[in-house]
Structure 1
Amino acid sequence: MTSFSISRRRALVVAGLAAALATSALAETYPARPLTLIVPGPAGGTPDIVARQVGQQLRSALGQSVIVENRAGASGNIGVSAAARAAPDGYTLLMGFAQTMAMNPVVFKKLPYDPVADFVPIARLVEFELALTVPASVPATNMAELLAWLKAHADKSAFGSFGAGTPSQFAGEMFNRKAGLKMVHVPYKGSAPLVTDLIGGQVQLGFVVPQVAMPHVKNGTLRIIAVTGAHRDPSMPSVPTMKELGYENVVAGGWYGLFAPKGTPADVVARLDKAVAQAMKSPELTKFMAEQDLSPAYQGGRDFAAFQQSEIARWRAVAAQTNFKAEE
């Protein structure tokens, strides 16, 4: 072996050791400055509110501020793309949710990011269900009455969702198919306009986030027939699940979780996961989740990654069953 080869090998070994030491040093000093948490939605929305609450608790766990940056638009694609392009150093994170990280690959033929290849899952935070909701103008208080009314008014029945390609639409499509209905789908840009038109009777039912519907349920302008969770909602225990009523495939809802750009050091991801686990145990966050009708659903990185893959596969199957056409 020549002296040149020996020198080159030594140089490679030294370089490898230096890289390992640098990674170790990063983990030991991380975080040394504030973190940015990108939310691919507008300020004031539920993901934004959750991000800010979680950020406050992460500040206590990490000793650094977490700055929430809203990047709304294009069904979340703008914000997620920005996070994918960020430096993989642990200082830019993403608040991902079911639509952006599991459903958009089904909804769009082309995405400016890959929710699996471009990201490292850190931890799942929360999950939520939807509520099959009808206006007071629909004279139904249970599923049997609702089905009878919908079939008697099949020519003028429509269901609304809080967006095309969202859990709200897919829940409606699955219900449509299972119940043998042919309701027209009317997509809205968010929950607020959907609820407004539900109250006004422009659509005859919708799958709505319970927290959004409850004020109107209390004043008598809306009624909740069933919920899409795997179990009954503790806040309304008398309301059955869709599964109980024979609609076992209409178990739909959403979730939020933290992601980092692919290439973020494993030690940094582990530190963040540990901080999230600590944050999720805080009394302040527990109280907030209960007030927002959100269910804590902490899941560490490896399990969260497997869950994300299963969600993508699940929504692909639902899209195929309901003949959903992907957007360009």
Structure 2
Amino acid sequence: MIRRAFLALALGGTSLMTSHAMADAYPVKPLRVVVPYATGGGSDIVARALGEKLSKKLGQPIIVDNKAGASGIIGTDAVAKAAPDGYTLLVTITQSVLTNQFLYNRLPYDPRKDLTLVNVIADAPLVLVTTPSLPVRSVKELADYGRAHKGKVSYASWGVGSYPHLAGAYFSKVTHGEMVHVPYKGEAPMLQDLLGGQVQWAVASVLSAKPYIQSGKLKAIAVTGTQRSQVLPDLPTFAEAGMDDNAFKVLGWIGLLAPVGTPAPVVARLDEEVRALIQTQDMQARFSALGLRPVGSTPAQSQAIFAREWPVWKTLVAESGAKLD
């Protein structure tokens, strides 16, 4: 019995030493960070900014690989099917690992079974904006106006299935406004038509909308999330404005993910280095310039965020009726 106990202790110690050794040795070759969207977007900029500094910390090159297409599905699937060794990682937005599950009837991957969240790097509140001519100044007044003008109020989005679409459809349904959805191919054309008065309101990124809010060309009503935006601190959240629905508390985020089965010591090393970088003044300034709020959550915290938001996105898509092929 003593011999068995001694052997178990020895094996446990060996396992512990192996884990530490694995973390210390990692990485021994270049890392590939897949971004499932085109260059120039938020996830791409974040991946390259982090990759540049993380490369120095890890002592290995980090190659950012843009595998765009099919609303993020192609690149996300490539990582989901990659070897779980810590050398192929994913930096992406919520759409490819959350929203797509409910928008598409079939996906080649299951984010809950094939991927693990290492770190929620940053998130971004959105802002509800209207044309100046729309006679509303609050969320309640927009709801009242919609009910009084059923079928005559339009809201814009930067695409079917995007958060502005889902949030707008949900708002229309719960306020019984029967508002009309007008989708665009991107945020820029959406804002141009909003400025031109072709549509009456939208949920937009704070960074893109801020110049128009400051110039008076758009009227800001409220922000999403559970806390006020540092960029627009005078604006209430939807909850503060009287709409305490989870639909307006979720935020789009940019996360670092790895294939399921990636060794825990490797995940821990990546998380430790990324969180340290997120806390630096330089990275904080870069995120702020993009309209992002630095987060840097641990793997456990990140996975809790994912689990908490999963049913919210499922409900939002179901309420909107949105489907993509």
Q: Which TM bucket (shorter chain)?
A: 0.7 to 0.9
Instruction: State the shift of 1:183 in Å.
Output: 0.7
TM-score w.r.t. length of structure 1: 0.86
| Structure 1 residue aligned with 2:212 | 216
Secondary structure of 1:154's partner?
A: coil
| Structure 1 residue aligned with 2:238 | 242
Whole-Å separation in 2 of the counterparts to 1:188 and 1:252: 22
Residues 309-324 of structure 1: pairs in structure 2 closer than 5 A: 309-320=307-318, 322=319, 324=321
Matched residue type, 1:283: Q
Which ranges of 4 or more aligned residues in structure 1 deviate by more than 3 Å?
18-28, 139-155, 325-328
Aligned residue among 267, 280, 283 for 1:282: 280
Q: Which moved more, 1:86-95 or 1:133-142?
A: 133-142
| Structure 2 residue aligned with 1:108 | 104
Contact 1:167–1:252 (8 Å) recurs in 2? no
Q: How big is each residue's C-alpha offset from its partner over 1:123-155, in whole Å with a ceiling of 9 and x where there is no partner?
A: 111111111111234243333543454445434
Q: How big is each residue's C-alpha offset from its partner over 1:78-118, in whole Å with a ceiling of 9 and x where there is no partner?
A: 11011122222211110132111111111111111111111
Q: Which moved more, 1:18-27 or 1:56-65?
A: 18-27
Matched residue type, 2:214: K
The root-mean-square deviation of aligned C-alpha atoms, in Å, is 2.4
| Structure 2 residue aligned with 1:301 | 299
Residues 199-210 of structure 1: pairs in structure 2 closer than 5 A: 199-210=195-206
| Structure 1 residue aligned with 2:324 | 327
| Structure 2 residue aligned with 1:254 | 252
Contact 1:42–1:72 (8 Å) recurs in 2? yes
Contact 2:149–2:177 (8 Å) recurs in 1? no
Taking a change above 3 Å as real, the CA distance of residues 133 and 79 of structure 1, as seen in their structure-2 partners, is same
**Counterpart check, 1:162 vs 2:158:** yes
Secondary structure of 2:237's partner?
A: coil
Whole-Å separation in 2 of the counterparts to 1:189 and 1:47: 18
TM-score w.r.t. length of structure 2: 0.87
Matched residue type, 1:178: V
Q: Which moved more, 1:72-81 or 1:134-143?
A: 134-143
| Structure 2 residue aligned with 1:89 | 85
Instruction: State the shift of 1:214 in Å.
Output: 0.7
| Structure 2 residue aligned with 1:41 | 37
Secondary structure of 2:118's partner?
A: strand
Instruction: State the shift of 1:297 in Å.
Output: 1.5
Whole-Å separation in 1 of the counterparts to 2:154 and 2:260: 42
| Structure 2 residue aligned with 1:182 | 178
Taking a change above 3 Å as real, the CA distance of residues 213 and 19 of structure 1, as seen in their structure-2 partners, is same
Aligned residues: 311
Matched residue type, 2:261: G
Matched residue type, 1:61: K
Contact 1:98–1:254 (8 Å) recurs in 2? yes
Instruction: State the shift of 1:176 in Å.
Output: 1.1
Matched residue type, 2:105: K
